[in-house]
Every structure is written in structure tokens, then in C-alpha cells.
Structure 1
Amino acid sequence: MRGETITLIHRTPAGRDPAGGTVWDTREEQVDDVLIQDGGQSNLTDGIRPDGIHIAKTIHMPRAWPYRSLRGAKARIDGVEYTVIGDPRPYTGGLAPTRWNLTVELADTRG
């Protein structure tokens, strides 16, 4: 089994604007051998977004990727940026039988 290449987009605080808000820097990182699993997809049913959709995916990161927090990060897959949900952590303890040790849930809402 072989994964795909995705782009992780990390953001870090770079200072404050004149109004006191946080100014962010972004950094992009290519990650190879990521397994991509489609999740739920649904149409939004509220009256103000009749053409809206919600998409979920799960990615499985390879052990070879040096772990760092993904809180606030995005993952670009096939040109679409998905938001990382929460702050996932790698599997710990014991022997794991695969090359992947971090499950990351992603979501995107459009329309």
C-alpha cells in the first residue's frame, strides 16, 4: 500500500497588528505517503445556504513524518484546503503493524 502527497499548511503567530489582533505567518510542507480516506459528505439544509456542502476526510500520516502539533493547520488535497479538527496525537505504546501512526480528521464547508 502506498499513500499520496499532500501539503500541510501550518500557521504561527508573527506579531500583533495596530488593533492588537494576531498577525500570522504560514509555512507549507509537502508530506509523502499519506493515506486519504473519504468521510461523510452532506448538503447543508439551512435556508441561507441552499447550495452549501460539508465534506469530511480522514488522513493517516506516516511514521516517517516528524510529529508536530497540527492545531490550527490545514491540509491541501487535490487543490482543496481542509481544516484540521482538534489537535491529533500519534498512536503510542506497543508495536503497531503499519507505516502510519497518526489519524487526522479534516473538514471543509462550502457554499
Structure 2
Amino acid sequence: MKRIQGVEIQLTRREPTGLDDMNEPTFTALEPETIANAIVTDGTQANATETERPQGTDTAITVYLPRSWPWQSLKGARLTIDGTDYWVHGDPHPVRTNLTPTSHWPVGVQASTRKA
């Protein structure tokens, strides 16, 4: 019996460092961290000619992070998968359940190659 096995990805989070001259928040990128056993899937299952991806210019993915990763805010984060950078949409949070087995992937992260 084969088990689901994820891939290794790089996660670069950002943290706010203050405000600029226009009173907009400024951020500093933190050191990238490696997350093992992440599940990467097509994000929309949409045809590349649909309005969500006009002319296929935006590659959307969904990444499921393993429970072993200690959740932190992903707002403005970048995922690097096989050398391609994807930017996280929104600020996804883990599903809060008591489901077993304990190694399931409770955080679904939508990201795309277009900077959010």
C-alpha cells in the first residue's frame, strides 16, 4: 500500500518592520525555511483560458502544509517550489479539528506566480 508523500518546499515569510513616508507598512523578509512533506496541487482545476487565468499568464497552486509545521502567519509569504516562486494569497489558517491520523495536512495555502 502506497502512502501519500509530499515534497520539500521553501517558505519565506515576512514580518512588519514599521511604516514608510506614506504611512504604509514596510516588511523584512525572514530567512527561508524548508518544509518537508508538503502536498502541491493545481490550485483551480480551471482551464487556462478562463478569466481567472487569462492567456495562462498566472499559475495557481494549492499547497497543503503538514501538521508538523508549527503554524505562523503566511500573509505576504513566498513559496519556492522546484525553483519557481509563488506568492501566498490572504493569510491562511489551519483547520481546527481533532481528526486522526496526526500527520494530515490541515493548512491549505492558495498561491500563484502573480505577486499578490
CA distance in 1, matches of 2:84, 2:37: 18
Q: What root-mean-square deviation, in Å, do the aligned CA atoms of Structure 1 and Structure 2 show?
A: 2.5
Unaligned runs of 5+ in 2: none
Where is the strand percentage greater, Structure 1 or Structure 2?
1
Aligned to 2:96: 92
Asked if the contact 1:43/1:53 (under 8 Å) is kept, the reply is no
CA distance in 2, matches of 1:29, 1:20: 30
CA distance in 1, matches of 2:50, 2:114: 9
- TM-score in terms of structure 2 length: 0.74
* 1:53 has 2:60 as partner: no
- Per the TM alignment, residue 21 of structure 1 is displaced from its structure 2 partner at its CA by 4.9
Q: How many residues align?
A: 106
- Per the TM alignment, residue 39 of structure 1 is displaced from its structure 2 partner at its CA by 2.8
CA distance in 1, matches of 2:18, 2:90: 24
TM-aligned CA distance change 1:15 to 1:31, over 3 Å: same
TM-aligned CA distance change 1:89 to 1:23, over 3 Å: closer
**Segments ≥4 residues shifted beyond 6 Å:** none
Aligned to 1:82: 86
Deviates more, 1:28-37 or 1:18-27: 18-27
TM-aligned CA distance change 1:44 to 1:81, over 3 Å: farther
CA offset digits 1:57-80 (Å, max 9, x no partner): 001101100011111111111111
CA distance in 2, matches of 1:87, 1:67: 11
Q: Which amino acid aligns with 2:48?
A: S
Q: Which amino acid aligns with 1:104?
A: V
Percent identity between matched residues is 35
- TM-score in terms of structure 1 length: 0.77
* 1:39 has 2:23 as partner: no
